[in-house]
Amino acid sequence: DQQVKQNSPSLSVQEGRISILNCDYTNSMFDYFLWYKKYPAEGPTFLISISSIKDKNEDGRFTVFLNKSAKHLSLHIVPSQPGDSAVYFCAASELTGGGNKLTFGTGTQLKVEL
């Protein structure tokens, strides 16, 4: 049972445009959400996070939106740059669940074209 879902395996956008990556979750106990970026042959690197007490968090070109009622979050990248081309993983955690374990989605491959 996939508790964190990224239904788009891939996304292609033009440089300078907005990239929107989506993520849905089913476990209502999740209260902390993170986005990781992964280049080939490297480990994932943390990008941005949001707790369930917020509906938006912004860091430079990256903004994460959380809609708790819909159990949906999205990552906006604007403007998109060629260096943003990577796999993006959505992850969720229960802050009081013990062990701070993360449940990951299956990832979305973003390609930013010139």
Partner 1 sequence: NAGVTQTPKFRVLKTGQSMTLLCAQDMNHEYMYWYRQDPGMGLRLIHYSVGEGTTAKGEVPDGYNVSRLKKQNFLLGLESAAPSQTSVYFCASMGNHLYNEQFFGPGTRLTVL
Binding site for partner 1 (CB under 8 A): 4, 6, 9, 32, 34, 36, 41-46, 49, 51, 89, 95, 98-107
Question: Considering the complex, what minimum distance in angstroms separates the CB of residue 73 from partner 1?
Answer: 15
User: What's the helix, strand, coil split of the chain in %, to 5?
Assistant: 5, 55, 45
Q: Which of 22, 2, 1 shows the shortest CA–CA distance to 10? A: 22
Question: Considering the complex, what minimum distance in angstroms separates the CB of residue 83 from partner 1?
Answer: 19
Nearer residue to partner 1 within complex by CB, 12 or 45: 45
Nearer residue to partner 1 within complex by CB, 87 or 112: 87
DSSP codes, 85-109: -EEEEEEEE-TTSSTT-EEE---EE
